[in-house]
């Protein structure tokens, strides 16, 4: 069971993982639209209400496509076998499954209120916010869950990368970290441009 959770690619890969992964990305986008959770780069998950559904879908697709492309371009020259783009794309789409759970966390008001509470308490920004100890505890618990989901997703991404690229450690780890850093930067820049386009056209 543990192996299926952290390395499902032993059982499912290629076209099947791509199909399931795309369904996961679409579902994550829809849930995130209603729960006010969005994903400004390949790893981040933030509370930010008011984004239209098409923006949420585009953002998640950009995170997946850009990361898959970067990982493919990094893996191909160093692998002794042929790296198939469909394998990289499929495993990285399926790897985003933990963020389907992350998207539901936005339905808890405590998470959004906690952000406003911290801003008010530390920097006196925004409206005065009072939270009960129970709400603060819940918000911290949800943040920890988000962190664990991120770790789970990165683990899935790494295992998918290692299998799809047929690379061994430590080479696979070094290339993956390089690709992940580049992916974070690239997706953040592109999604930021997408945000400005949305602002100017709305």
CB 88 within 8 A of CB 18: no
Q: What is the pLDDT of residues 96-151, one digit of tens each?
A: 999 999 999 989 888 887 777 777 777 766 677 777 888 889 989 999 999 999 99
Q: Is the peptide bond before 85 cis (omega within 30 degrees of 0)?
A: no
The closest of 150, 8, 30 to 22, measured between CA atoms, is 30
Determine the pLDDT at residue 126: 66
38: enclosing H helix or E strand: strand 37-38
State what percent of residues in the chain have pLDDT above 70. Answer: 96
Q: What is the pLDDT of residues 142-181, one digit of tens each?
A: 999 999 999 999 999 999 999 999 888 899 999 999 999 9
User: Does the model's pTM come out above 0.85?
Assistant: yes
- Most confidently modeled of 45-59, 83-97, 127-141? 83-97
Q: What is the pLDDT of residues 184-202, one digit of tens each?
A: 999 999 999 998 887 777 6
The stretch 46-61 carries a mean pLDDT of 90
DSSP string over 44-55: --EE-TT--HHH
The stretch 8-36 carries a mean pLDDT of 90
Query: For the chain, what are the domain ranges?
Result: 2-201
DSSP string over 51-107: --HHHHHHHHHHHHHHHHHHHHHHHTTT-SSPPPHHHHHHHHHHTTTHHHHHHHGGG
């Amino acid at each position: 069971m543990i192996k299926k959770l952290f390395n499902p690619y032993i059982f499912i890969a290629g076209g099947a993982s791509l199909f399931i992964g795309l369904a996961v990305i679409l579902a994550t986008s829809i849930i995130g639209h209603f729960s006010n959770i969005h994903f400004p780069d390949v790893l981040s998950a933030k509370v930010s209400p008011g984004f239209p559904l098409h923006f949420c879908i585009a953002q998640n697709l950009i995170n997946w496509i850009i990361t898959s492309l970067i990982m493919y371009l990094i893996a191909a020259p160093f692998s002794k076998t042929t790296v198939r783009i469909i394998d990289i794309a499929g495993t990285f789409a399926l790897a985003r499954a933990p963020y389907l759970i992350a998207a539901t966390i936005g339905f808890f008001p405590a998470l959004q209120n906690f952000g406003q509470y911290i801003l008010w308490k530390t920097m006196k920004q925004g409206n005065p916010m009072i939270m009960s100890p129970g709400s603060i505890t819940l918000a911290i618990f949800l943040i920890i869950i988000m962190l664990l989901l991120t770790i789970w997703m990165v683990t899935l991404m790494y295992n998918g990368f290692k299998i799809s690229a047929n690379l061994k450690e430590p080479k696979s780890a070094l290339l993956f970290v390089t690709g992940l850093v580049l992916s974070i930067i690239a997706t953040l820049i592109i999604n930021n441009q997408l945000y400005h386009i949305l602002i100017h056209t709305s």
